[in-house]
Amino acid sequence: MELFRIKKDIPFMRNALIFNVISALTFVAAVFFLLTKGLHLSVEFTGGTTMEVSYSKPADTDKIRTTVSALGLEGVTTQTFGRAQDVVIRMPLPKQQPGAPKLSEKAMNELIGAQNDKVFAALKAVDPDVIKQRTAVVGAQVGDELAHDGVMALLFVIVGVMAYLAIRFEWKYAVSAIIANLHDVVIILGFFAFFEWEFDLAVLAAVLAVLGYSVNESVVIFDRIRENFLKLRKASVTEVIDNAITSTISRTVITHGCTQMMVLSMLLFGGPTLHGFAIALTIGILFGIYSSVFVAAAIAMWLGVKREDLIKPVKEKDEADGAVV
């Protein structure tokens, strides 16, 4: 299915060096923000307390967040779940005094209990009808395990993608696709570090989804490059890549446009629960298009991809074979 057709090939690879320099600068900027500002990790990773409360009428999450933050707690998040009257409040673990000895598990639980009682008392003072449903604690050890599992999941995805592309195409395509994918992931993380958006498990899931989504676009372009090497026998490598990208633009617009409309609806109407997830996907989709065209294809060209990499030469049969002397 095609939305439109471009008759003349667009010379994308003519300016490949310029776009690669822009990509490198963007990548370096993202790494800089990650190293200097870091990620604003949620309580799933750092450890913290979650409290579920219910109101008799639809809850005002902004007002609840202001009430809890007024107690001196930083990094408090509030969101509704299930019904508009039900709210989950996420709070960090109580801070210890600098230089103080590490508290035992029993002492830490007492501090957490005191903090929860203080928070609920503040909510009760604002709205006497509030009811505490339950509280749960995510310890720092559990947070470290989640962070470790997230990094391992990312590494397994990268290795799996490289193995798939190396088997289906050739190692040059695998390397270029992984560089493009890492480019997308690091830029997403750089945005979250620069704007200090909260990085939670939903955002991690979006990052993993972007990895798969971005490599899919690269595979489509690589497939068309392989077809063009068979059809366009006299064309140069640059002309083959330009034709492959131009011929898949319509499909790219349809696929990414439909996906972005769905993500945009989550961003606008999904509420705080899906906000980080939708933001990460939006950044990933936009940069995924860019990286597939100007990063993956260009790097494959710089690595010296050629017709012989995908098409094995046919051995000519020796005329003397089988001849009787």
Q: What is the residue extent of each domain of the chain? A: 12-40+143-310, 48-138
With H, G, I as helix, E, B as strand and everything else as coil, classify residue 35. helix
Whole-number percent of the chain with pLDDT over 70: 89
Looking at per-residue confidence, does 58 or 150 come out higher? Answer: 58
Looking at 3.40.1280.10, 3.30.70.3400, 3.90.800.10, 3.40.50.300, the CATH number of the domain 48-138 comes to 3.30.70.3400
pLDDT at 281 over 90: yes
What was the pLDDT predicted at 325? 45
Q: What is the pLDDT of residues 149-170, one digit of tens each?
A: 878 887 887 788 778 877 877 7
In this structure, the chain runs to a length of 325
**Strand segments (E) across the chain:** 40-41, 48-54, 77-81, 83-92, 131-138, 198-199
- Give one DSSP letter per residue of 160-222, joined into a string: HHHHHHHHHS-HHHHHHHHHHHHHHHHHHHHHHHHHT-EE-HHHHHHHHHHHHHHHHHHHHHH
Cα separation, 126 vs 65, in Å, equals 12
Q: Please list the residues that pair with 137 across neighbouring strands.
A: 49
Mean pLDDT of 270-277: 82
With H, G, I as helix, E, B as strand and everything else as coil, classify residue 292. helix
Q: Going by C-beta distance under 8 Å and a sequence separation of 6 or more, which residues neighbour residue 310?
A: 169, 170, 225, 226, 229
Q: Going by C-beta distance under 8 Å and a sequence separation of 6 or more, which residues neighbour residue 274?
A: 202, 266, 267
Name residue 124's amino acid: K
Does the structural domain 12-40+143-310 have CATH classification 1.20.1640.10? yes
pLDDT at 186 over 90: yes
Mean pLDDT of 182-198: 91
Looking at per-residue confidence, does 261 or 305 come out higher? Answer: 261
Looking at per-residue confidence, does 36 or 79 come out higher? Answer: 36
- List, edge to edge, every strand of the sheet that includes 83-92: 77-81, 83-92, 48-54, 131-138
Enter the DSSP assignment of 97.
P
pLDDT at 315 over 60: no
What was the pLDDT predicted at 192? 93
The pTM of the whole model exceeds 0.95? no
Mean pLDDT of 180-199: 90
Query: What values do phi and psi take at 81, rounded to 5?
Result: -150, 140
Q: Going by C-beta distance under 8 Å and a sequence separation of 6 or more, which residues neighbour residue 95?
A: none
